[in-house]
Structure 1
Amino acid sequence: MFYQPSEGHGLPHDPFKAIVAPRPIGWISTVNEAGGVNLAPYSFFNAFADSPPIVGFSSNGEKHSVVNARATGEFVASLATRPLAERMNLTSALLAENGGEFEFSGLEAAPSRLIAPPRVAESPAALECRVTAVQRLTDIAGKPIENWLVLGQVVGVHIDDAFVTSDGLFDMAAARVIARCGYMDYAEADTFFSMRRP
């Protein structure tokens, strides 16, 4: 089959998010200018550079995470894992601004070292970030669309020592990292293979 997204796909559900998968989940915490905390998962999330490390998330709509990150210049990306999956999903609920996602999901907010937004205490890893860009995306005609990209430089990294191996590697399998696979599907990273570059 072939289809042009502008003309529709004719399937019961849009396959795009299932094709571009699995996608890591950026579990983004921010604070607003009054200090109110917001926590939300974004499956349009990834790393964009490693030196300096830069990560980013994209929001469908100018949601609290985008507004707060733009206003304060900071966000934290906590790692979503299988033991935390159900509580991560609860934080996607449409609550009011400063809706208490930590309390609603039964999660503990741990203080960051260098920035104001807290991290998810139960998460095995978290990235403290300072915003480098907030960009509204456009289509090929240059027309603005309802999606915003937020990029941030990682200025601090938290790793639970229980997930650092004896040879100094972050143990993704032990951490049970999850990813979004489209539709209502998620995957747990538990099978790995290695290849050396030629």
Structure 2
Amino acid sequence: MRIDFDPESMAGGSFYKLLTAVVVPRPIAWVSTLSVRSVANLAPHSFFTVSCVNPPMVQFTSVGRKDTLSNVEATGEFVVNLAPEALFEKVNETATDFPPENGEFEAVGLEREPSVRVKPPRVAASPVALECVLHSTLRLGDSTVVIGRVVHASVKEDVLDDGHPEFELLRPLSRLGKNEWGVGGDVLELARTPYEEWRRKQG
């Protein structure tokens, strides 16, 4: 038996809570930006994915109008920092709705480091930073999709295995439902089967 849910008849954020409980796990874009007054903002966004391969692009969604979105629109630059398990509490702290004039790096005690191609700083302790320039935004209802072209990537050596980032070394956080977070878990490895090989196996 199934239970049916109608988003148009559900009050407030009830359907949002349902969506975020079933679209899991969601990787986190820990986005750093600079305001026009050079205040460094840092906030986690759990609607995040790759948009394009060539040229490389990533996207995150701002639900409502937040400082991250305002800064990206004003400056055209941002950095997606990987949110690792080791910084779990710091990532959560940067989700606090600080006033725009309060920089999250200083507020929660995170060290920053300069980026190579863009002005917003990177999180020094994050193992991966994707430096991005704004490609476009798309307004959808109460949310805005932000698409950025990745112009530089920086990865710490200790999360690389033969030059490739390894999931078990990255230990990325993810968001689940309610106030739940995901960390690591079992890794299954299975190569894709070319069609001709699949057809041969069918006899």
TM score, norm. by length of structure 2: 0.88
Which is higher, the Rg of structure 1 or of structure 2?
2
| Structure 2 CA distance for aligned equivalents of residues 156 and 12 of structure 1 | 37
User: Which amino acid in structure 2 is aligned with residue 154 of structure 1?
Assistant: V
- The corresponding residue for 1:163 is 159
Equivalent residues of 2:160, 2:169 under 8 A apart: no
Kindly report the root-mean-square deviation, in angstroms, between the aligned alpha carbons of the 2 structures.
1.6
Q: When you count helix as a share of all residues, which structure comes out higher?
A: 2
TM score, norm. by length of structure 1: 0.91
Equivalences, count: 189
Please point out which of 173, 177, 182 is paired with 1:178.
173
| Structure 1 CA distance for aligned equivalents of residues 69 and 124 of structure 2 | 22
Deviation at 1:13, TM superposition (A): 8.7
* Unmatched segments (≥5 aa) in structure 2: 194-203
- The corresponding residue for 2:29 is 26
Does the alignment pair 1:128 with 2:126?
Answer: no
User: Which amino acid in structure 2 is aligned with residue 3 of structure 1?
Assistant: F
| Structure 1 CA distance for aligned equivalents of residues 54 and 38 of structure 2 | 30
Please point out which of 6, 9, 34 is paired with 1:7.
9
Does the alignment pair 1:190 with 2:185?
Answer: yes
| Structure 2 CA distance for aligned equivalents of residues 92 and 161 of structure 1 | 28
Q: 1:12 to 1:36 in 2, by over 3 A?
A: closer
- The corresponding residue for 1:39 is 42
Percent identity reads 37
Q: 1:12 to 1:60 in 2, by over 3 A?
A: closer
Equivalent residues of 1:81, 1:176 under 8 A apart: yes
* Unmatched segments (≥5 aa) in structure 1: 138-144
- The corresponding residue for 1:154 is 150
Does the alignment pair 1:118 with 2:118?
Answer: no
Q: Where do 4+ consecutive residues of structure 1 move more than 6 Å?
A: none
SS at match of 1:70: helix
Equivalent residues of 2:7, 2:15 under 8 A apart: no
